[in-house]
Structure 1
Amino acid sequence: MAAAGELPQPQGPVLLRVSGDITMTNAGDEAHFDREMLIALGQDSVTTSTIWTDGEQTFTGPRLAAVLTAVGAEGTAITATALNDYAVQIPVDDALEGSALLAMDRNGEPMSVRDKGPLWIVYPFDADQKFKSEVYYSRSIWQLDRLAVTR
């Protein structure tokens, strides 16, 4: 792993912790992000239906690729873990293709833990039939709070 660089310190509550094969950190060997830091990575929106919600929803947040770029991710896989320690594996290539959104807002409002927040990995399910599969449904982890990048 290359020498670690420094990210800014979060000023608000930490929503996301990233660890593993990363080169940019701000909390020991981890990168911690608050809401404002995630907003600063750039915001995209995806309007799509999901199997967990009624009708179309508009999800907004940074692309997962932007988070991986910000931390200097050098791995091939991501373990995404939720608040309840549920975890899924996501190939880095899946994130880098740009389809995965790290949603912070749904329909213009921050997502609470009760509403699958604070973070939810969302794909544009309605944009391409390939996303309407168990592979992508299983990667759409909600109540996300940790990412671990591995080789």
Structure 2
Amino acid sequence: MDQTDKLTIGQFAALAAVSVETIRFYQRKGLLPEPPRRGGSIRRYGSADVERLRFVKSAQNLGFSLDEVAELLKLEDGAHCKEASSLAEAKLVGIRKKLSELSRMEAVLSSLVNACHVGRGKVSCPLIGAFHSAN
């Protein structure tokens, strides 16, 4: 048993760069197990807990919601690659759609900002005008 098998919740949170409340929230959501109280009233966390939290944070960093992370955790034994791939493909479709929307938004906003820089004197602001004339 190494030092990471004796972590208090505060030490576990600090090691994972999250708050204690985040760990408790993940436990309520079923993403992290709640270890039993051994030898007193303090729960101890180990390397398996650290690894599971890293899994959760890695999935979140790729845009997976906590519900999606819970689904991925059910598949983490590695024998369900097809199901995991389906979840990832659905996420990828959503990300590509968001990228397309963001690209469109960037082009429109860039055009409006450029129009604002071109305007001189007492002219109506093209940016404000565009918002007034929008649907």
Normalising by structure 1, we get a TM-score of 0.20
Structure number with larger C-alpha Rg: 2
Greater helix content: 2
What TM-score results when the alignment is normalised by the length of structure 2?
Answer: 0.22
